[in-house]
Structure 1
Amino acid sequence: MAKPKRVGIYVRISKDRKGQELGIQRQEKACRELCERLGWGVLKIYAENDTSASTTSKRQRKVYTEMLRDARAGVIDGIVVYSIDRLTRRIAELTYFLEEQKEHGFAFATTEGEDTATANGRMILTIKGAVAQQETERMSERINLSLLQRREKGKPHAGGSRLFGFKEGSHFQELEPGEVELIRLGYEMLMDQKTPGDVSRKWNEHGARTPEAGTAWDIQKIKRVYRSERIGGIVTYKRQDIGDSIYPHPLTRQEWENVQTVLDSRARPAGKGAGKRKHVYSGFLTCGHCGSTMRIQWATIQGRTFRRAFCHSAQIGANGEHGCGKVNRRYDWIEERLNEVVEAALLARRPKPQTPPTDDVTEEIKVLEERIRGLRNRWKEGGMEDEDYFDSLSHLRSDLQALRAREAAATVKEARTETDALAVWRDEEMQNLERRRAIVASVIAECEVFSVGRGRKKPPELDSIRVWPVGAERD
């Protein structure tokens, strides 16, 4: 096999709390030294700092995925890593990587000397991958055992964002007196047959705001506070009740269980299809007065059933406060106007004329190869000093390598045909709703809706809505 000239070096470290990237720098240096010894040319560095590759990690490795995509496309013809556990700690992922290497024919090497060109080399590599996975799983078992021992001692998990009622930075070990008073007040209201909506209004009247975003309280946020086991001092491990916390907490276990009974009695099962989008412009309409996202629903008034878009007073607006409730409009008229906007935008997208590939570098490669041959002939005939010859040759070969990388990528790139967006848009079947919404998102960023008053018989004016196209700057 010819020596690869467009190698990608993949470096990764699981934890880098200081963000200094010293670990991946050491790996890159060792990998570059290996490439120099092997005579391989380095094209690109794929670095993933502070990223785990273990079986317990749910985080996507975007740089690793990009590297494999480049290897499939021919942008790089080799991959070098410091060790196999830097590449992956999952045996299934390693097996898939070796299959990709076999199919696309790119070279692979590590600083520890594994050779995937032979059956024995692949077997040793697989064994090392299994050992790396076992190390990760054993570490996970030790950590889980340590966490379980802490929970059994009454010490709850100390991570996560701040919960209402606990002090910032106290790791849920110290209470915020003012917030605890509101939690106790809300508990008494719920026990007095008041609703979570009543509690949210009371908390807002006292000027309380949510810990995460500093916005006003609504029903769902109130429920999340009282549904949290931390409020009742209940310690859980993998969703199992372990015991009581040794730290102070706003409610007792019995009080927390009383709240759950009240909330469960008020809960209603979700209807069939609940949670699914039913309208094309759901989420795109905002109130022109307060900026909160408008809701769309079917309404029956005086025997007439129609769809309406309205500003809900429980919705949080752009200013972090509740919706103003001032706008209530028929949805059908808004939908017709926005349909016209989207269709006009799609009709304006004329298909681009077919042009020759812009990345055709064949002639440039021929010119460079001819220059290299001429340079070599001059040197052989004694027309150039050795130092000048090797310096010029190094620059020309570097340019030639970059051009060949572009040529390889263009050669293997698959032709992609765009879907006829206009045909998709005009298909108004319910199963096509999400595709139509994706088209809307490419045209309309937001539509502000203003009130037109009551009792109007004539159609609303066009300026009663304001459409912001995607990419438009706002005044």
Structure 2
Amino acid sequence: MGIYVRISKDRKGQELGIQRQEKACRELCERMGWGVLKVYPENDTSASTTSKRRRPTYTEMLRDAREGLIDGIVVYSIDRLTRRIAELTHFLEEQKEHGFAFATTEGEDTATANGRMILTIKGAVAQQETERMSERVNNSLLQRREQGKPHAGGSRLFGFKEGSNLQEVEPGEVELIRLGYQILLDRGTPGDVARAWNERGARTPEAGTAWDIQKVKRVYRSERIGGIVSYKGQDIGDSVYPHPLTREEWENVQTILDSRATPARKGAGKRKHLYSGFLKCGHCGSTMRIQWATIQGRTFRRTACHSSQVGANGERGCGKVIRRLDWIEARINEVVEAALAKRRPQAQAAPSEDLSGEIKILEERIRALRNRWKDGGMEDEDYFDSLTHLRSDLQTLRTREAASVVRETRTETDALAVWKDEDMQNLERRRAIVASVIDHVEVFSVGRGRKKPPELDSIRIWPVGAKPDGSKG
């Protein structure tokens, strides 16, 4: 016989629970005259419907029973075997097919239909108890969230003190977060924030490494930075503890980050060249690659139409155009600088709408709805359905309000000065400036062996908003 013993929680790791189960199972085997070949222990392992952990020992035991290594299985009680009715049904089918014995210290009999029915009923009761326990835990968690107490698990979040469970902020880090917030409002980038933090000696809380763009984004994307408490993806309310940014400031940051987010093409990595993605083959319309090449000992950059690229007509690149990049780049630079020189700072437009009244009304409705639910005046299903709709409307208004705030608070930046800063760390901002001036550039072949500079019409620069006939839209 094989003995299977399991306990869901063993915080001290002393295995006292499974030892008690094994003792009771051995006493049963001794009374029945059964020999024990192997014990299958599974300590600190849940078998409930909510658990996603695998049970390798349980799987091993079933395999041994199928292969005849053990001729029966003994458990302390049915809920030690499983708390899932579907898993119990599968176990009974396996037992019937392979003919191994099964017994519990509580005396269940699987040899008759009535015995199997009683066992199934007990399994259903065990599953129900697990689900009720899960509901109680979830309701307790929801109540904490409703009280403004966020979940405090995981590694330390930048801006909060170690071991404070998100209840205390780190003043120095809060100062950096607010500095980064102002940089983003002033048309800065996450890269600018990373440089500012690194220059001040700040390091990431997880590994103590330098900041980069993605790590900065993760900080500002965290709802906890704005004191937002959520439960199962739903915005529940505001934290009662201090937090680096207000909800409104956090939503302003989301608007800024969302406005900068552009879908990357398949296989795209970090850009290394200013005009990557802007150059199109004049023959087939596919996006041209920019690469370094070495010919006869000379190393230079060139752009080429490649057969792996898909053209405007849905076909592969023609491969007919290969050009040195320096002359093309110089011509495009002239166009961009001329466009920037014509720009004049524009007066900031007054906000078109004041949404504070509508937001206040929705917030009051949510508070009234929550109080009614807490007092037992609403069913859970009706409450969460109504809360979802109200929260969605509120989020829409707050997003519009955040966009307005971002427009009002951003200061005018000298785009020409940013453009002339050719540091690689500034590449992202320079590409954004290019995208505000140029839609794309068509590049045509100039033939082989040409010594004189190419003709001006060997490239065609399409400004933003230009129509196919060359006029402005």
TM-score interval for Structure 1 and Structure 2 normalised by the shorter chain: 0.5 to 0.7
Of residues 257, 266, 285 in structure 2, which corresponds to 1:263?
257
Q: 1:240 and 2:244 equivalent?
A: no
- Taking the aligned partners of 2:112 and 2:264, their CA distance within structure 1 comes to 58
> Equivalent residue of 2:37, what SS?
strand
Matches within 5 A, 1:119-268: 119-268=113-262
Task: Give the CA deviation at 1:305.
Answer: 7.4
- Taking the aligned partners of 1:211 and 1:27, their CA distance within structure 2 comes to 44
Q: Deviations over 1:351-372 (max 9, x none)?
A: xxxxxxxxxxxxxxxxxxxxxx
Task: Give the CA deviation at 1:123.
Answer: 0.7
> Aligned letter for 1:10?
Y
- Taking the aligned partners of 1:108 and 1:272, their CA distance within structure 2 comes to 55
Task: Give the CA deviation at 1:159.
Answer: 2.3
Q: Contact between 1:13 and 1:48, CA under 8 Å: does it hold in 2?
A: yes
Task: Give the CA deviation at 1:78.
Answer: 1.7
Q: 1:104 and 2:95 equivalent?
A: no
Task: Give the CA deviation at 1:234.
Answer: 0.6
Task: Give the CA deviation at 1:238.
Answer: 1.1
Mark the CA change 1:37 to 1:270 in structure 2 (over 3 Å): closer, same or farther: farther
Q: Contact between 2:6 and 2:44, CA under 8 Å: does it hold in 1?
A: yes
> Equivalent residue of 1:45, what SS?
strand
> Equivalent residue of 1:199, what SS?
helix
Task: Give the CA deviation at 1:199.
Answer: 1.8
Task: Give the CA deviation at 1:256.
Answer: 0.3
- Taking the aligned partners of 1:207 and 1:28, their CA distance within structure 2 comes to 57
Mark the CA change 1:62 to 1:216 in structure 2 (over 3 Å): closer, same or farther: farther
Mark the CA change 1:252 to 1:27 in structure 2 (over 3 Å): closer, same or farther: same
> Equivalent residue of 2:2, what SS?
strand
Q: Deviations over 1:393-413 (max 9, x none)?
A: xxxxxxxxxxxxxxxxxxxxx
Mark the CA change 1:39 to 1:173 in structure 2 (over 3 Å): closer, same or farther: same
Mark the CA change 1:183 to 1:134 in structure 2 (over 3 Å): closer, same or farther: same
Task: Give the CA deviation at 1:228.
Answer: 0.9
Question: Partner of 1:303 in structure 2?
Answer: 303
Q: 1:8 and 2:29 equivalent?
A: no
> Equivalent residue of 1:236, what SS?
strand
- Taking the aligned partners of 2:225 and 2:58, their CA distance within structure 1 comes to 41
> Equivalent residue of 2:102, what SS?
strand
> Aligned letter for 1:265?
S
Q: Deviations over 1:124-156 (max 9, x none)?
A: 111000000000111111111111111111111
Question: Partner of 1:18 in structure 2?
Answer: 12
- Taking the aligned partners of 1:39 and 1:207, their CA distance within structure 2 comes to 72
Q: TM-score, length-normalised on structure 1?
A: 0.56
- Taking the aligned partners of 1:116 and 1:216, their CA distance within structure 2 comes to 63
Question: Partner of 1:51 in structure 2?
Answer: 45
The size of the alignment, in residue pairs, is: 279
- Taking the aligned partners of 2:46 and 2:24, their CA distance within structure 1 comes to 21
Question: Partner of 1:85 in structure 2?
Answer: 79
Q: Contact between 2:9 and 2:46, CA under 8 Å: does it hold in 1?
A: yes
Give % identity.
Answer: 85
Task: Give the CA deviation at 1:218.
Answer: 2.3
Q: 1:94 and 2:88 equivalent?
A: yes
> Equivalent residue of 2:93, what SS?
helix
Q: Contact between 2:290 and 2:303, CA under 8 Å: does it hold in 1?
A: no
Question: Partner of 1:336 in structure 2?
Answer: none
> Aligned letter for 2:173?
E
- Taking the aligned partners of 2:290 and 2:31, their CA distance within structure 1 comes to 75
> Equivalent residue of 1:303, what SS?
strand
Task: Give the CA deviation at 1:255.
Answer: 0.5
- Taking the aligned partners of 1:93 and 1:147, their CA distance within structure 2 comes to 28
Question: Partner of 1:395 in structure 2?
Answer: none
> Aligned letter for 1:155?
K
Question: Partner of 2:447 in structure 1?
Answer: none
> Equivalent residue of 1:155, what SS?
coil
Q: Contact between 1:299 and 1:305, CA under 8 Å: does it hold in 2?
A: no
Q: Contact between 1:8 and 1:44, CA under 8 Å: does it hold in 2?
A: yes
Q: Contact between 1:14 and 1:50, CA under 8 Å: does it hold in 2?
A: yes
- Taking the aligned partners of 2:190 and 2:153, their CA distance within structure 1 comes to 27
Q: Deviations over 1:408-467 (max 9, x none)?
A: xxxxxxxxxxxxxxxxxxxxxxxxxxxxxxxxxxxxxxxxxxxxxxxxxxxxxxxxxxxx
Mark the CA change 1:162 to 1:39 in structure 2 (over 3 Å): closer, same or farther: same
In structure 2, runs of 5+ residues without a counterpart are 270-288, 293-301, 307-473
Mark the CA change 1:186 to 1:75 in structure 2 (over 3 Å): closer, same or farther: farther
> Equivalent residue of 2:154, what SS?
coil
Bigger radius of gyration? 2
Mark the CA change 1:203 to 1:74 in structure 2 (over 3 Å): closer, same or farther: farther
- Taking the aligned partners of 2:126 and 2:192, their CA distance within structure 1 comes to 55
Mark the CA change 1:122 to 1:202 in structure 2 (over 3 Å): closer, same or farther: same
Q: Contact between 1:55 and 1:133, CA under 8 Å: does it hold in 2?
A: yes
- Taking the aligned partners of 2:199 and 2:164, their CA distance within structure 1 comes to 27
Q: Deviations over 1:160-184 (max 9, x none)?
A: 2221111111111111122212211
Q: Contact between 1:155 and 1:235, CA under 8 Å: does it hold in 2?
A: yes
- Taking the aligned partners of 1:118 and 1:143, their CA distance within structure 2 comes to 38
Mark the CA change 1:188 to 1:48 in structure 2 (over 3 Å): closer, same or farther: same
> Equivalent residue of 1:15, what SS?
coil
- Taking the aligned partners of 1:216 and 1:76, their CA distance within structure 2 comes to 57
Mark the CA change 1:63 to 1:216 in structure 2 (over 3 Å): closer, same or farther: farther
Question: Partner of 2:31 in structure 1?
Answer: 37
